[in-house]
Amino acid sequence: MRSSTLSKLIREPVEVIESRPLGGGCVSDVQLVTLKRQVTTGELRTIDGGVLRIGEGGEAIRIVVKQHSESMLSNFQSESEGLLALSATETIRVPRPIALGAFDQHALLALEWIDASPVRPSAADFERFGEQLADMHLASQSDRLGWERDNFLGAAPQVNQPTDDWVSFFAERRLRYQIRWAVRQGLADRALVDACDSIVARLDELLRGREKALSLLHGDLWSGNYLFGTDGRPALIDPAVYRGCREAEWGMIRWFGQCPPAFQQGYERRWPLPDGWQRRAQVYMLYHQLNHLNLFGRSYHGSCLETATAILRH
């Protein structure tokens, strides 16, 4: 990461002292950048006009910088907007977006660095995480569906244009979108297509028992998209936000979330889930599995078909 590029990005002169790769990302080049600012304010402005207080000017600080080809700018814009939306609920920590731009044919996103704890999270840490996720869902309840713009689930487009209701939204914008994409790529055989078509046809029945309220969702809550800071506080990263039924959050949590029982206990202490949510979560998990099929190939076909078959047995 060059000092001149980063200076352009954050709109003030800086010197890059060190830049090293961060693990976990599968889409962009992610660097932890240590820089020295040539100002005396002791503040770094964020995209939404907020301030990160970092000590007196001239002190070395660390930020996260994501870099990709210029075509990735809209993806980074969506990530920034999602983080700001989650932050606005004032319930759970997220890294604040600092700057966004395109320079020298590269898209760049600078974010607040949250230092992750080197210690394995305790049951109490996960319990607090569950409580704060429930608080986020509670605080953001509305009757609005979808999102103001399409965004991304990983590197995949995620269509968020609202429909008349949650069932039609999940049928059209989630399941049908993914299965049609898989067919175009030659990744879905007849058995998987027929199973998904049957699920879509029965979706109102399969999702019966859910609540009508809609909440802001992180949208991609696998184990790589949350962390615990050195103070034990949970934080969310890399969102794919939209407004929907809160049970949809559990599709990815139950598949790849790696959360112990204390997490669910904390969540349900704040906002109990309605009866039958585990069964309905299978439908939401299928969306993420189909997305993995489309992004990463046929190795995910078996899990898609297995989940689809299990859903249809109910």
* Positions marked catalytic: 220
3-state SS assignment for residue 310: helix
Q: What would you report as the CA-atom Rg of the chain, rounded to the nearest whole angstrom?
A: 20
The residue type at 181: W
3-state SS assignment for residue 127: helix
Residues 267 and 259: their CA atoms lie apart, in Å, by 11
Do residues 12 and 38 make contact, with C-beta atoms less than 8 angstroms apart? yes
- How do the residues of the chain divide into helix, strand and coil, expressed in percent and rounded to 5? 45, 25, 35
Residues 187 and 305: their CA atoms lie apart, in Å, by 12
Q: How many CB atoms neighbour CB 206 within 10 A?
A: 22
The residue type at 105: Q
Q: How many CB atoms neighbour CB 114 within 10 A?
A: 18
End-to-end CA distance of the chain: 53
Q: What would the two tokens of residue 229 be? A: 């800071």
3-state SS assignment for residue 215: strand
Tokens 């240590």 correspond to 34
Do residues 181 and 102 make contact, with C-beta atoms less than 8 angstroms apart? no
3-state SS assignment for residue 93: strand
* Tally of residues, the chain: 314
